[in-house]
Chains A and B, each alone.
Chain A
């Protein structure tokens, strides 16, 4: 008898988690994906690489991030909420964990130019930051709609020395930014590393990004056990755009009894309303019409405005190991304000989705009183304050 494999193990040789994943890219990019796969597996097995990454995460990104108890929020909800504070990292979100790892890989492969797609701008800011730190060139593709609603992050990227290209095709949001980054990469692949911002895209990205983000879940598990006399939380909750903060968090708890919940924006719920398809290099769940044309997601949160989901999440959903919920814009705005008022923390709109679900589930009894919840606070809300002000006016 072989032990049951962990529900979050490595993908198979074709890059699949169950039936999801794979590598559906133009021929021009196939050799680069293979090179990255090899570079990553060698680097990940190389103690010197791991030590360098760990040291950067500690001295530059500010890891480990703490976990924070939320006594006033918990009293209000009747469930015990603890936050994993990715909002306290340098650049203000979990995106930095992935980007520092990929920048080190790019350096290892001799590539001196980084490109990235961005929705909310957090991944773009993180990539621009790493590029500045490593002295690399950086280009960020961002939908025109997002350039408008996240103007502050555009300026940040420019201050950091990156060039931001507004994308005017299609829905002019995250999906189209990915298309444009792929088009750039097809032309620049010999000198450029595509620093994908979530657990999506062609193999090895979904696995690579999850491994770089699992520091969130691994730290949280240790910290939580220390605080609770060895106990794990009952429920782990994280928001899901492509799914990187959720995958990193879930990876730390996949082999515990904790229930795993991913929260999508109602207007971009790939698990709720998507069907299997092949887009952006991967087989996963996508919002699409009967012919296979990809539909536009719609959400107040630029970071969750994506019609697909990472392939490993599609697999976890199929296995039933994780469940995926959807919340609407109004609940999110309310959650944003509740956390500010009760705990003095302004969340980014993306993790406010995770909190919105906790609030709803605590109120409707889905979460029994006293349930112990760990929620990944994937980023801070500074970038969203202007938008929230407008929406509340």
Chain B
């Protein structure tokens, strides 16, 4: 297979809002906490976003629900299906984000078909208009990312790249080079969901990512509670917490309960 030219030129690389915020906080000695919520899940989801910001999130991931979420386990599948049944669309989620008016940078997490359907250029512009800082697209790997990244870069939207335990070192470096915002280290081989034990692979992938990049490295997938988050932050710059929060929301936690849970994680990382 032919080796592709690097996707970007480091000299022209602009640091976006999410990356700047994360770098700044890391420099201040803080461990980074990025919670995930499914956009459009329940009438109060925008209040939940505000509660997460108030509870000390350093960035917030908002999922735009997709009919076929192949990287997601049962909890986020259920959340996506419920949100879709409640009428969530990419546009309604973006409108919600715009109305949240939080200072915490927001990244949307979704599947590439929802972007491709609208068109790369149009969706990049819509994200920017809604005040979204970054996009996380788990089914858009490096080799296919170029057209989207060109439009996202132009619109000032940071594209977060994902690294997996199976990613070879040489490729890891290229992912980090193309990545914006932070490098998302997938903590285990598997889909999103809570795990009772911290996977050994979480520390291993965090270590490998830290070796190849200066970007903030956050571990996500399988990070389920405060003690796991602390253990990961011995190596990584921070964590993404999804299913553990979304499960609580599905169980009716509401903005208060969601904020409380993230507040606990915040405290654990700060102490």
Contacts and interface: CB of A to CB of B under 8 A. Distances in A.
B66 to A, nearest CB: 7
Interface residues of B, number: 45
B114 A31 contact: no
Query: Which of A186, A188, A286 counts the most chain B CB atoms within 10 A?
Result: A186
A14 B143 contact: yes
A322 B218 CA distance: 48
Given A27-B164, A188-B189, A183 B113 contact: no
A61 interface: no
Given A288-B113, A292-B113, A294-B113, A26 B71 contact: yes
A265 interface: no
A23 B90 CA distance: 24
B211 interface: no
Interface string B192-204: 0000000000000
B167 interface: yes
Contact of A13 (B1, B89, B90, B166): B1
Query: Which of B71, B113, B186 counts the most chain A CB atoms within 10 A?
Result: B113
Interface in B55-98: 66-73, 77, 81, 84, 89-91
Given A179-B70, A291-B89, A277 B191 contact: no
Given A13-B1, A183-B73, A278-B139, A293 B189 contact: no
A322 B73 CA distance: 39
Given A13-B1, A13-B2, A31-B167, A187 B116 contact: no
A30 interface: yes
B37 interface: no
A329 B68 CA distance: 26
B255 interface: no
Chain A interface extent, by class: 35 or more
A315 to B, nearest CB: 17
Contacts, number: 124
Interface string A165-176: 000011000011
Interface in A252-275: 275
Contacts of A186: 70-71, 189-191
Interface in B224-266: none
Contacts of A179: 68-70
Interface string A228-257: 000000000000000000000000000000
Nearest to B115: A292
A189 interface: yes
Contact of B67 (A30, A34, A293): A293
Nearest to B162: A27
B16 interface: no
Contact of A24 (B90, B117, B139, B164): B139
B140 interface: yes
Given A186-B71, A278-B112, A291-B114, A27 B1 contact: no
Contacts of A275: 117
B234 to A, nearest CB: 24
A126 to B, nearest CB: 23
B163 interface: yes
Contacts of B166: 27-32, 189-190
A26 B113 contact: no
A223 B105 CA distance: 65
A292 B114 contact: yes
Contact of A279 (B68, B90, B143, B165): B68
Interface in A34-63: 34, 37
Query: Which of A169, A183, A276 counts the most chain B CB atoms within 10 A?
Result: A183
Contacts of B89: 291
Contacts of A293: 66-67, 84, 114
A292 B191 contact: no
A278 B1 contact: no
B47 to A, nearest CB: 24
A26 B141 contact: yes
A290 B113 contact: no
Nearest to B84: A293
A175 B186 CA distance: 25
A25 B77 contact: no
A22 interface: yes
Contacts of A187: 188-191
A31 B189 contact: no
Contacts of A169: 77, 81
A14 B189 CA distance: 25
Contacts of B164: 26-28, 30
A226 to B, nearest CB: 40
Contacts of B69: 179
B117 A277 contact: yes
Nearest to B165: A28
A292 B189 contact: no
B109 to A, nearest CB: 12
B168 interface: yes
Contacts of A283: 116
Nearest to B167: A27
B141 A291 contact: no
B118 interface: yes
A291 B117 CA distance: 7
Nearest to A14: B143
B116 A34 contact: no
A182 interface: yes
B138 interface: yes
A120 to B, nearest CB: 20
Interface of B: 1-2, 66-73, 77, 81, 84, 89-91, 112-118, 138-144, 161-168, 171, 175, 186, 188-191
12 contacts: A23-B144, A26-B71, A27-B161, A34-B1, A170-B67, A183-B70, A186-B70, A187-B190, A275-B117, A277-B116, A283-B116, A291-B91
Closest 4 CB pairs between A and B?
A: A292-B117, A187-B190, A28-B164, A293-B67
Given A187-B191, A281-B139, 12 more contacts: A13-B1, A26-B138, A26-B162, A27-B163, A30-B167, A31-B167, A175-B68, A179-B70, A187-B189, A280-B70, A291-B89, A292-B114
